[in-house]
Structure 1
Amino acid sequence: MIEKVLIANRGEIALRVIRTCKALGIKTVAVYSDEDYNSMHVKQASEAYHIGEAAPAKSYLNQEKILDVMLSAGADAVHPGYGFLSENDDFARLCEKNKITFIGPTADSMNLCGDKMKCKAAMLKAKVPTVPGSPGLVNDAAEAEKIANEIGYPVMLKSVYGGGGRGIRIVNNDKELREGFESVTGESISAVGKSAILVEKFLEKTRHIEYQFARDTHGNTVHIFERECSIQRRNQKLIEQTPSPVVDEEIRARVGEQVCRAADAVGYTNLGTAEFLRADNGEFYFIEINARLQVEHPITEFVSGLDLVKLQLDIANGEPIPFKQNDLKMNGYAIECRINAEDTFLDFAPSTGPVPDVTIPAGPGVRCDTYLYPGCTVSPFYDSLMAKLVTWGQTFEESRTRMLAALNDFYIQGVETSIPLYKTILNSDEYKNGDLSTDFLKRYGMIDKLTDDLKKEKVEKSEAAIAAAIVHSEYFKSRIQKDSTSSYNWMYKLD
């Protein structure tokens, strides 16, 4: 049985794993870079070890250094979180070689999931619908152009080695395709030292819907419902919710059965996520398996009542999944907002620096996973995600209004955040009506709506400040004492 877990990560996900391990009596080992010396995960873990400089390549991506810490600390398992080494099959294989339990899929399964071409072939064999496109890798721009003209523009150019929305270009004609092919190739070579590209039909007004699933070492597979992840920027998720407004019990069961087939097809073990595009005609098309815990896993925990990190640990210990598919019932509605340190008006550019003060929202049905504390720093070296704000309600409307209240309570001093944008989105009729799509921000002009909302808020604050100044003025008080019936008349004469 696992007794000591090294968390090969940082920030809020490291804290999330530590929390469950503490509840189970499992010791934890944190690793940290120069930049993270004072981070919360370092203080919360049973032990902590320095692993290098701030740059990820010299710390959180340094496999050999992390392995040295695992061996010297006596850790018998490693949890990779998400990002960094979480989907690196070489790291998973290194752990396997050194008899350290990797809390996730096997290296071979991870390799298969990470290779979009091989994974797509496995899905076709398992009769899981995939997006129309090239049957395999595309060798050059000329071949990509031929396929694009066969299936019709617009098409997506996708790097086999991409992830998290990266390595994707949407092109509308032959000229854009040739330019895009060169860009995606360059990005892939820069990121991983090699390039391999697929061509797929770009489905307009799609929804991004994913399914959480679990598969144990005994061959038992279940899905743990869907998550709607359609609100995105640059193909990266911003707001997630469950259940999806367009998934009923029949669709949930039908697509869920495909998800279980997909997990079986790649020999998956532990927790994973099968991602789909839902076309405007209601058809679901498989796009990839994320072989790790997802950022948005808390909304699934809210509606299922499960601790997904505990489930990961149980499966890693060789235990069978302790429930059947029919045992799982959805309870209520949950929404997650990714609180990013970004400037919305500068194309979501990162905002970094000290955070002198912060107020974390709380209350019934509110959860906030975060590394923030007064006096911490948002580093320029790592992802912009500062917190995951999650709310639950018996109805969608209760969850939505709780989220708005929590967003209003969330105060982060010193950096720009995505909070104002989320308030505009959650207040929009399109969001309230469930009219979602992966181009939601552009389709409904959300940045322009945010601008209008901020102007209105500024005016309201100015008017409130003027009113407060008037009420507290000596002249106002004296007029009330002299003549209460006419004390307000002069207010309308103010310039």
Structure 2
Amino acid sequence: MTKQISSILIANRGEIALRIIRACKELDIKSVSIYSDEDVRSIHVKRADAAYHIGPAAPSQSYLNMNKIIDVAISAGVDAIHPGYGFLSENETFAELCEKNNIIFIGPKSVSMDLTGDKMKCKRIMNEAKVPTVPGSDGVIEDVEIAVQIANDAKYPVLLKSAFGGGGRGIRLAKDEKELRQEFEMASAESKAAFGKAALFVEKFLEKIRHIEFQLIRDSHGNTRHLFERECSIQRRHQKLIEMSPSPIMTPEKRNEIGEIAKRAADAVDYLNAGTAEFLCDPDGNFYFIEINSRLQVEHPVTELVTGLDLVKLQISIANGEEIPFEQNDLKLNGCAIECRINAEDPFYDFAPSVGKVPYCNLPYGPGIRVDTYLYPGCTVSGFYDSLTAKLISWGSTFDESRRRMRNALNEFIIEGINTTIPLYKTIMNDKYFISGDLSTDYLDRYSIIQKMKDEQKSINSDLHNRLLPAVGSAILQSEYVKKSNQVQNGSSYNWKFGGLTS
């Protein structure tokens, strides 16, 4: 029998650490946070019931230091560790370390994680379970000649992928044999550098595809549920930017069909706790399984808003050995939710990283608006960690209500001192193709969304110039105006007040 969890160490930082702390407080569970030199003043350190210094700012010496984290967990006397997402969340070695030290890992077992983390092992298991997969190689390829043969059979273009990749890493596109030979060597080196293993496979590149995932939950009693789908097609370099539920193309019949396939995939690897089954959908409506993400997803709030469930509390209850408290037919999809990932990147300059102090920020609020963030006035966005600074989530009874709420919230969201992806999302929320649901993983390029954003910004600059410059009566004010105008031109936040007016 699983021991009851009364204390949890959160092996993470930022907004996801805060999210888990809040769930712990609701359940009267002691929360223990860890922090690096860089995070001494972070909110998750102050909000937890206890906090332990873990090491220098570099992740390898702090949030990725497995032995140090286990030592802290033992010293703190915790019952469980929640890894959040990123860092060690999908590391089977860390999960195994927890198991060996009699610490509950809030996630899948290390054996299952090993299966889901190796894409080729997972693909073979899925084929045996009659889960449809993308055409391509049946195993890892070490010889470029074999890769060429498979690519010729599958027809170009093809993707070269690392069997140990994730989050868009270790993926290269080859449009012909010449490119395949060039990319094979580079992809092998990239895979070895990122994952320690140069294990590649070839997969047919499906054009104009949608990326749709199904949220899964499975308990230790063999009960599996899917919590509906999330549309994740708006991406940049295989990194998700916007997620929503329901998908614009999903019908109740198709949802049930693919949901059952997703559950079969979880059963095939004896999955435990929360995760997602990821699918590609072609223009003809065919779904192809690509992987299981064995962790809580960044976009889990989308599912929470359309189901009314608390996924983190559900994770903890399953880790406690409890059964899922509802049947599949008990779940109802309510309304529509959209999430925008607010990254510290400059979309006007090829998404260049933007870090530094945030002297002021204003978080939006109102009906159907949720913000998960670690930001506060005076905080610092670090260059050592992921660029995600906040998640802005809207809910509405319909897609259009959710979209309008998101649009308004984006206009209210102010983050000074750094550049963010907010301007890009403002453009997308008003884009006719987004509104019509015409989405695909190449959406940004296909409809020149970045250029649209830049054109809109020029229009804003011109309007500011025409409205405000005539009212400027002194050289000092003119100088201030020019400075602000240049900041806007350079892609900085333009939510500033001037002469009683707000841009």
TM-score normalised to structure 1 length: 0.94
- Equivalent in 99, 103, 111 of residue 102 of structure 2: 99
- Equivalent in 382, 385, 389 of residue 388 of structure 2: 385
Distance 1:263 1:214 in 2: 9
SS in 1 for 2:395: strand
In structure 2, the partner of 1:25 is: 28
- Equivalent in 54, 74, 77 of residue 77 of structure 2: 74
Cα deviations by residue, 1:22-67 (Å, 9 ceiling, x for unpaired) = 0110010100000000001001000000011100000000000000
- Equivalent in 338, 342, 346 of residue 345 of structure 2: 342
Cα deviations by residue, 1:234-254 (Å, 9 ceiling, x for unpaired) = 100000010000011000000
SS in 2 for 1:94: helix
Deviation at 1:192, TM superposition (A): 2.3
In structure 2, the partner of 1:403 is: 406
Distance 2:395 2:464 in 1: 30
Deviation at 1:365, TM superposition (A): 0.3
- Equivalent in 288, 292, 295 of residue 298 of structure 2: 295
Cα deviations by residue, 1:113-135 (Å, 9 ceiling, x for unpaired) = 00000000111011000000001
Distance 1:65 1:340 in 2: 29
SS in 2 for 1:165: coil
Distance 2:294 2:470 in 1: 56
In structure 2, the partner of 1:275 is: 278
2:154 aligned with 1:151: yes
In structure 2, the partner of 1:41 is: 44
Q: Contact 2:278–2:291 at 8 Å: present in 1 too?
A: yes
After TM superposition, list the pairs within 5 Å mapping 1:372-451 onto structure 2: 372-451=375-454
The one-letter code sitting in structure 2 at the alignment partner of 1:342 is E
After TM superposition, list the pairs within 5 Å mapping 1:150-299 onto structure 2: 150-299=153-302
After TM superposition, list the pairs within 5 Å mapping 1:454-469 onto structure 2: 454-466=457-469
Distance 1:350 1:251 in 2: 39
Distance 1:379 1:23 in 2: 30
Deviation at 1:469, TM superposition (A): 5.5
Deviation at 1:466, TM superposition (A): 4.1
Distance 1:301 1:69 in 2: 31
Distance 1:415 1:447 in 2: 19
The one-letter code sitting in structure 2 at the alignment partner of 1:282 is G
- Equivalent in 337, 355, 360 of residue 358 of structure 2: 355
Distance 2:467 2:399 in 1: 32
SS in 1 for 2:370: strand
In structure 1, the partner of 2:315 is: 312
The one-letter code sitting in structure 2 at the alignment partner of 1:321 is I
SS in 2 for 1:275: strand
- Equivalent in 315, 324, 329 of residue 321 of structure 1: 324
Distance 1:49 1:338 in 2: 29
Distance 1:448 1:185 in 2: 34
Cα deviations by residue, 1:329-375 (Å, 9 ceiling, x for unpaired) = 00000000000000113321211111111001111100000000000
Q: Which has the larger radius of gyration?
A: 1
Q: 340-349 or 205-214: which moved more?
A: 340-349
SS in 2 for 1:390: strand
- Equivalent in 7, 12, 16 of residue 15 of structure 2: 12
Deviation at 1:467, TM superposition (A): 6.5
Deviation at 1:465, TM superposition (A): 1.4
Distance 2:130 2:226 in 1: 17
Poorly superposed stretches of 4+, deviation over 6 Å: none
Deviation at 1:463, TM superposition (A): 2.4
2:65 aligned with 1:62: yes
After TM superposition, list the pairs within 5 Å mapping 1:473-492 onto structure 2: none
Percent of matched pairs sharing the same residue = 64
Cα deviations by residue, 1:414-433 (Å, 9 ceiling, x for unpaired) = 11100000111111100000
In structure 2, the partner of 1:484 is: none
TM-score normalised to structure 2 length: 0.93
Q: 177-186 or 37-46: which moved more?
A: 177-186
Distance 1:276 1:51 in 2: 37
2:139 aligned with 1:136: yes
Deviation at 1:181, TM superposition (A): 1.0
Distance 2:156 2:333 in 1: 39
Distance 2:51 2:35 in 1: 7
The one-letter code sitting in structure 1 at the alignment partner of 2:92 is D
Gap regions ≥5 residues in structure 2: 474-503
User: In angstroms, what is the RMSD of aligned CA positions?
Assistant: 0.9
Deviation at 1:468, TM superposition (A): 5.4
Q: Contact 2:42–2:374 at 8 Å: present in 1 too?
A: yes
Q: 139-148 or 373-382: which moved more?
A: 139-148
Cα deviations by residue, 1:194-243 (Å, 9 ceiling, x for unpaired) = 11111000000000000001110000001000000000001000000100
SS in 1 for 2:261: helix
Distance 2:113 2:159 in 1: 24
In structure 1, the partner of 2:481 is: none
Distance 2:407 2:211 in 1: 23
Distance 2:470 2:10 in 1: 53
In structure 1, the partner of 2:119 is: 116
Q: Contact 2:214–2:277 at 8 Å: present in 1 too?
A: yes
SS in 1 for 2:316: helix
The one-letter code sitting in structure 2 at the alignment partner of 1:315 is I
Gap regions ≥5 residues in structure 1: 471-495
The one-letter code sitting in structure 2 at the alignment partner of 1:449 is K
Figure out how many residues of one structure are paired with residues of the other and give that number: 470
Distance 2:174 2:88 in 1: 31
